[in-house]
Amino acid sequence: MDKKKLIQNCLIDAEFHELPDFYRGKVRDAYGLSENRRLLISTDRQSAFDQVLAAVPFKGQVLNQTARHWFDKTSDICPNHVISYPDPNVALVKNLEMLPIEMVVRDYMTGSTETSIWPMYDRGERNLYGHSFPDGLKKNQKLPYTIITPTTKAAQGDHDAPITEAEILSSQLLSAKHWKELSEKSLALFSRGRELAKENGLILVDTKYEFGLDENGVITVADEIHTPDSSRYWISDTYEERFNAGENPESLDKEFLRLWVASQCDPYKDPIPEIPEETLIHFGEKYIQLYELVTGQKFEKPSSSEPLKERIRKALISEIPEYFS
């Protein structure tokens, strides 16, 4: 498929007027369905720095299928919200009462966003999210131990904000019981992810988890897990050499997009320039590479003969026909 066709075939809009309670997130289009269900459609929209920047070929399918892989691999640690997968870009899930904190787990001193620990440390801060750090740490250095750096969940268009355990409990955003359980589950999920990533030549550097309560009050992991949008992955074979040389590790996540944007402008102050088509296609190839490394499966590219939205419509008519009759 030529470059122009690749970009044109991206799934940017997944709004179906037959379906109720439509909500557009930065990346996913969602619907509230009957019987306490939600429909999540992963588009190819690419977000970074809390805004949508462009569309990346195959990205939505990679996200949905990578999340599926990890939900399957971690269901013994924590229940997840998935009911079924009607299409490679679609998940039918249980509706949850979402908890107001994102649980970010980190193994390395890195990052480029305002809530990442490296920019804070580089500015001279040494108490980060309630954790104390010594002087002399370098960018991309492994931390002495795995840490949780929670953030608030910002409304769309706003920025997530750092918050500490003490602040979460004092403001009653979470109960002490829920905080303890979320912390334990987050660390256990991360440990499983780190272990399986290592087997495939990858370092799971950091990630974020979102949790909610199901109809019985059971804590359930939701949204996505260990995808290239919610996580940072490095190639393990070249990490040490590049770290010792002061170079950024080889990454297979959306950090390559963040770094490209940051090289062009200050994304928190300046308008972000249009991303060239060749760069977007390169990003798409990196997403596919990550999917194949993580899952050990060949990525099945969608047919170019049928628009993605039409393929998804057919799958939805089969899965939830009551809305299309």
Tens-place pLDDT, residues 201-243: 999 999 999 999 999 999 999 999 999 889 999 999 999 999 9
Which pLDDT belongs to residue 53? 79
49 & 186 share domain: no
35 belongs to a structural domain: yes
Q: Which residues pair with 47 in a beta bridge?
A: 52
| Count of domains for the chain | 2
195 & 112 share domain: yes
Distance of CA 97 to CAs 22, 188, 285, 290, Å? 17, 22, 35, 31
* Model confidence, pTM: 0.91
SS3 283: helix
Q: Which of 38, 69, 97 is nearest to 220 (CA)?
A: 97
How many Å apart are CA 217 and CA 219, to the nearest integer? 6
Q: Which of 254, 325, 285, 301 is nearest to 61 (CA)?
A: 301
271 belongs to a structural domain: no
Q: For residue 289, give both structure tokens.
A: 């590479």
Q: Which residues of 129-161 are buried (b: 16+ CB within 10 A; e: fewer)?
A: bbbebeeebebbebbeebbbbbbbeeeeeeebe
62 & 30 share domain: yes
Its domain, for residue 168, covers 98-257
234 belongs to a structural domain: yes
Strand bridging mode 202-213 / 97-98: antiparallel
Measure the CA dihedral 307/309/314/318, to 10°.
150
- CATH code for the domain in which residue 178 is found: 3.30.470.20
pLDDT at 156 over 60: no
198 & 306 share domain: no
Which pLDDT belongs to residue 1? 57
